[in-house]
Homo-oligomer: A and B are copies of this chain.
Amino acid sequence: MASSGSQTKTRGNHSGHFVQPANPNVATMPEDVLYHLSLSTSTHDLPAMFGDVKFVCVGGSPTRMEAFAKYMAKELGLDHPGAEYPNICAGTDRYAMFKVGPVLSVSHGIGIPSTSVMLHEVIKLLYHARCSDVTVIRIGTSGGIGLEPGSVVVTQQAVDASFSPMFEQMVLGKRVVQRTDLDQELAKELMQCATDLPEFPTVLAKTMCTSDFYEGQGRLDGALCSYTEKDKQDYLRAAHAAGIRNIEMESSVLAAMCSACGIPVAVVCVTLLNRLDGDQVSSPHDVLVKYQQRPQRLVSHFIKKSLSTVW
């Protein structure tokens, strides 16, 4: 496994770091059916379809990831009349995938398991397609802690519900723990890009990744709740004191899996509410839509800057 530093160097130097799964079996499989993407090495020419991918942007909602693909097409000057960006995974409704030049935009649904299925298959796709120097960025939504709603958080480190930089998984019935480090150089570059976009605040901070939106994030408004308002406030304030500024449900598995395969990864989420003030996501629809465009704006700016200077 490459260290974070060497990954960054590889990325910056454009030196042909090919995507490689952390599983030797994949190289010897006569066929690889990427079942949840409705793609296969025997029915699709993956190198021709995906060989030039350099940025894989992922987010929960298929509609949002389609909107991001269209936005990137415009930003990269690829939205000429008649240009279409159809859903490449149209054969399934599990995930949606769109490609615009070097940018792949993929939905991952809600939560770690849904994200891990997509990541397993997308990493294998990138390998089969012989992609090199790929960066993965999540553009998502989150709950903020002590931030003005609409603030963007670039994740410095993904932590679990106990505030530890760990991702725990069951493998063959045994607990396996992996670290959840993100690419520090990439996070720094994203923060530099943020200074060019002063119209919304962006901070670098820890992100807490949970497996439930209600009890798992200390909400009082779920179908189940076994604690008091004070317990909740104590928990969120302890998270804030530990340097956590937002809560979402996917960052740790992205960090763990991409790191294990030597792929630089970043997480950029907007906060839809300040959890110290409440639990419900009740801002008007148009305000939420505007907020959700902010990570797209920042990541688009980063991609354009990377393409013009590095690649």
Contact = CB atoms under 8 A, between A and B. Distances in A.
A169 B116 contact: no
A231 B172 contact: yes
A33 interface: yes
A60 to B, nearest CB: 7
Interface in A243-300: 249, 257, 260-261, 280-282, 285
A62 B111 CA distance: 17
A130 interface: no
B111 A224 contact: no
Q: Which range contains the number of A residues in contact with the other chain?
A: 35 or more
Contact of A35 (B169, B216, B226, B280): B280
Interface stretch (A119-127, A150-158, A192-200): A119-127
B110 A117 contact: yes
Given A170-B161, A216-B169, A281-B33, A223 B113 contact: no
Contact of A223 (B22, B112, B215): B22
Contact of A60 (B32, B94, B112, B171): B94
A218 B172 contact: yes
B109 A109 contact: yes
Contacts of A92: 61
Nearest to A92: B61
Contact of A113 (B25, B63, B113): B113
A204 interface: no
A78 interface: no
A162 B171 contact: no
A23 interface: yes
Given A172-B231, A173-B235, A223 B21 contact: yes
A224 B261 contact: yes
Nearest to A123: B223
